[in-house]
Structure 1
Amino acid sequence: MVFRWNPQFPSERVSYEPLPIWFYLVLYVIVEGAALAMVVPGLPKTGSVPWDRVLHYAVAVPVFCWLALSCLVHWFAYDIPATQAAEHNSARWHQITGWQQQSRSGMAVLDSVILTPEPDLAERMLALEGTPPENPGKAMELRSIDAADDGSRLNRLLDALLTPLSAKLVQAAKGGSFEIVMQCDYEALCSEVLAAWGRLELPGKPVVRWLDNRRDVGFADKWFEDEARPYWYEQDRTPRYRLLLAWHLNDAGPDEKPETSEAAVALLLGSPALMVEKPDLKRQAWLLRQITGDADQADRLLASLLKAEQVPSERIRHFWHSGLKGLAQHATLGAVRESGLKVEAHALDPAIGPQAPVARWVIQALAARMAHFGQGPQLIALPHEQGVALNLVAKEPAPVDVPWKEEYGYRPILGPEFGVLTSVWTVNMLLSPDKGWSTTDTIVTCLTVFFMLAVFIIRRPGLFSRMVESTVDFVGSVIGF
């Protein structure tokens, strides 16, 4: 299901207040006055007062008639509209909170390794250490990655990516829900990844999936969602741990000039389900859900992203971008400038030269590291097959902040209709001309019980269905089904 960034939520219904107590007191005076007007004229003029008749018809019957009328008035004047408003408002609350939870979903960056031609790139670009690098138009190499004994730089590169993560990879691989996603030029390099896994003596033989460089991986659209489950009882198949390996090594000959700079990144990601199971698991930051669209709609995309309040907008201080060209670049930079955000822009291309597709992950890793270092949420813009993609990287996403009101939970198990039915039944018993229990009394009692069950089921259909399911399960367990 496609996530909607601009849903239309119904407006909140007004809450209702019950009628004041004086209304019911006035109603009692009216009912009691009517009863006395009917009983007093029939009393004997002389002799003793038949107090049993007076108590029966002038006290007991009016009291239960008043109770029936009071419950009936309360039912229609307050209970029905309050119940409808509570159901509407609670459903609206669940819609909004569910949307906020989805909008703030993400993948946790548990750890990362970043290899770029310039060391300490993130710290230097934010002027935390050293001087910002400037290499516009210069295709740079990873000078720290020399060829291994077999002449392959790839083996040395993979070792450099996996070795710092080995301790956490052991834990992830033993968790039973782990996969490696490799984004590079050739699918056949899966064997090189598994060979590097073996050289480090990491446990098991993980599944390695390949993503080619031409495809936008849609990390926030696909990876953050639970994989489809045809049946409700099937387990979530989304891997709890996912290791992303992405790299670009120039393979041009000595007489050919490379067009893009070399870079590599390893991101150990934890799924939302994993972080729910292990909330204390250490993480660097969260890669939050991205928004994509046409380049000329960059202002609308940024406004929708900020409106979702994945993080407080005033805390965003840094803006990263890479690979934006033409309209996408001008529209995105203009949207950020006009948004009111007070951010410092950091372009990857001028810092370390023209970028290969690996930059989409390098820039996420750099932003995650800076969020981890206390530099606040980071805004990222990257080219996308639709035009442009925007997302935020934050230490923690903002919590769901829709307040729950007490009146949203108005769902009494026994409503005023039970008072109406019991009072009417009592009045019928008091006015019955029969001295003993009659057939009419049986019929009235059965009808009263029937209507009580009916209104209970109408008021609490979920509770009734759960009671039926529990009863069926119990009977099934008793008879052996």
Structure 2
Amino acid sequence: MNWRLPDMDRKTLPKLPAWWWWLAIPSACVALAAIALFFTWPVQRGFTNLRFWFWLLLLPVLVSTAVMAFVLSAALQASRQTDWRHLFIDRKYAHWQHWGRRSLRLVAFHCLTPESDVASRTLGLEGMPPQAPSKSEDIMLTVPVLIGESPLKSVIIQTLTPMHSALRALPAVEIWLYGNVDEKQTVPAIEHYWNQQLNKRINPENIHLQDKVPDATLLHTWCDEDISIPRLVIALHLLDGKSQASASSSALLFQRSSGPVIKAPPFRPVYLFRPLVTQSHDLDADFPRFLATGQTGAKRLSHLWDAGLHSRERGALLALLDEHDVMLPAQGRHDLSLLLGPASPASFWLALCLAAQGCDLGQRGQLVAVQSEESISLVQLSTQPAAPVNMPVDTISRYPLAYLAGIVAVMLALILLPADRDTQMGMLPWLGGGLVVVAALMSFSVPLALRLWRKRLDVEWHLLEQQRHD
């Protein structure tokens, strides 16, 4: 999705001719007819002759009506093109906003860290805020591991046990698994949990091992996919020789936002909206557009989870939040490096778990920010879905009938032209056939004109979008 929406100028509507113009044209036509009759009308015929009044009044009025109808149609066409331009811009913006509000439903989630109940303690709901350890800490193993079993058995069980009811109710699950340990240890641990705890057999093809930790682009892609099978993300970070961060294990179960909700007590469904993935130097330009999609109301955002932003980017993000009236309370800014020590590659998923628990605990909207190399990812979470986007209704596709009225006036003048009765009756089929041909041509030309006009605006839109990127 392109978060940089091009700005198209909204042109002002052209004005119709002044009111006096509509009186001046018929008066001028009658005056010209009177001058012509003054020099050409035979006096001996008298002024009670119907032909005299036809040439003096009826024919000038019909001619002036045709002229005014053509002018009015041109003015209405210009106004209609401007309205069409505005409608095109509004519909493009509505489609963009609808695209930006796409979301995933996070139905179950849990994280395992050395500090227990990190989310509720961080939010100030119970106990003292967790303290950043001076050195990396390991997760306490509570389940004994027998000989021949995976050493990750205890970690997987502690991570997935709170999600037991949700996983048990699902006929199939796709797993995205990342861990900084050997896959020969992780996969058997997952299969052991499914066999022993869920009494099911998991298909090995449904386990997708990730060499690198997935980032927000994975969620960005999932927002556009029709997820038929719920997807479980498991991100492990265990202590090894290179670890500086504490151990953690995160599990998040996603499904598409539409469709039946998986009943997974005690979790409340949390909506995870389309993430913004941008370069750090483009944050100033993309963040306002990110808020403009209306994923979550600015007044609903109450917590910011910093999963490893650099000091410069953190200051820029806080300044942008203040600039756009997103007033986060002082206790609503959570720096994971101060809560859990240095960030790990899996800190993004850990922050999502903590933010989801914050939503589950009734703490309104949450914003997760993470930085990897030069890119920054922002994700909004809320227990409320985004409001539906009202698409502008096309009420201006009707073609102005002024052209047709002008043609009718001209043909009526020809029909009423003083002549023999036989001549009038002979002209009538030709005039009627001409009117039918004109109506048929208009019925074909108007849809074609609309299609060409829409194509022209679409080309202009894409050119502006390309210029914006260049």
What TM-score range do you get, normalising by the shorter chain? 0.7 to 0.9
Structure-2 residue corresponding to 1:98:
95
Per mean C-alpha deviation after superposition, the further-off stretch among 336-345 and 298-307 is 298-307
Provide the aligned length of Structure 1 versus Structure 2. 434
Give yes or no for the alignment of 1:127 onto 2:124. Answer: yes
Instruction: Indicate which of 213, 230, 240 corresponds to 1:241.
Output: 230
Cα shift at 1:202:
5.2
Structure-1 residue corresponding to 2:333:
345
Instruction: Indicate which of 153, 156, 160 corresponds to 1:155.
Output: 153
Matches within 5 A, 1:213-362: 213-214=212-213, 216=215, 218-226=217-225, 238-239=227-228, 241-250=230-239, 259-271=244-256, 274-275=257-258, 277=259, 283-294=269-280, 302=287, 305-306=290-291, 310-324=295-309, 329-339=310-320, 340=322, 342-343=327-328, 344-362=332-350
Structure-1 residue corresponding to 2:8:
10
Instruction: Supply the AA of the counterpart residue of 2:402.
Output: P
Per mean C-alpha deviation after superposition, the further-off stretch among 55-64 and 107-116 is 55-64
Instruction: Indicate which of 73, 81, 85 corresponds to 1:84.
Output: 81
Structure-1 residue corresponding to 2:459:
none
In structure 2, how many angstroms separate the alpha carbons of the residues matched to 1:436 and 1:298?
78
Structure-1 residue corresponding to 2:179:
184
Structure-2 residue corresponding to 1:371:
359
For structure 2, which runs of at least 5 residues remain unmatched after alignment? Answer: 453-470
Q: Is the 8 A contact 1:287 1:368 kept in 2?
A: no
Q: Is the 8 A contact 1:147 1:153 kept in 2?
A: no
Deviation per residue, 1:32-89 (Å, 9 max, x gap): 55556666974865889344x467555654454343222111112x212112102211
Normalised to the residue count of structure 2, the TM-score between the two structures is 0.76
Deviation per residue, 1:136-159 (Å, 9 max, x gap): 333223326423556435334434
Deviation per residue, 1:375-416 (Å, 9 max, x gap): 233232223143433333334465477895x8x742224532
Deviation per residue, 1:199-231 (Å, 9 max, x gap): 4145974722222235546234333234xxxxx
Deviation per residue, 1:421-467 (Å, 9 max, x gap): 222222222227462567765555444433332333232239999xx
Per mean C-alpha deviation after superposition, the further-off stretch among 63-72 and 155-164 is 155-164
Instruction: Supply the AA of the counterpart residue of 2:89.
Output: R
> Cα–Cα, structure 1 residues 439 and 9, in superposed 2: closer, same or farther, change >3 Å?
farther
Instruction: Indicate which of 84, 109, 113 corresponds to 2:110.
Output: 113
SS in 2 for 1:68: helix
In structure 2, how many angstroms separate the alpha carbons of the residues matched to 1:266 and 1:433?
92
In structure 2, how many angstroms separate the alpha carbons of the residues matched to 1:356 and 1:108?
25
SS in 1 for 2:364: coil
Cα shift at 1:349:
3.0
User: What's the RMSD between the two structures over aligned residues?
Assistant: 3.9
Cα shift at 1:93:
1.0
> Cα–Cα, structure 1 residues 37 and 202, in superposed 2: closer, same or farther, change >3 Å?
farther
SS in 1 for 2:210: strand
Instruction: Supply the AA of the counterpart residue of 1:292.
Output: T
> Cα–Cα, structure 1 residues 130 and 416, in superposed 2: closer, same or farther, change >3 Å?
same
Cα shift at 1:417:
1.6
For structure 1, which runs of at least 5 residues remain unmatched after alignment? Answer: 227-236, 466-481
Instruction: Supply the AA of the counterpart residue of 2:209.
Output: W
In structure 1, how many angstroms separate the alpha carbons of the residues matched to 2:3 and 2:447?
34
Q: Is the 8 A contact 2:141 2:154 kept in 1?
A: no
Cα shift at 1:172:
5.2
> Cα–Cα, structure 1 residues 422 and 456, in superposed 2: closer, same or farther, change >3 Å?
same
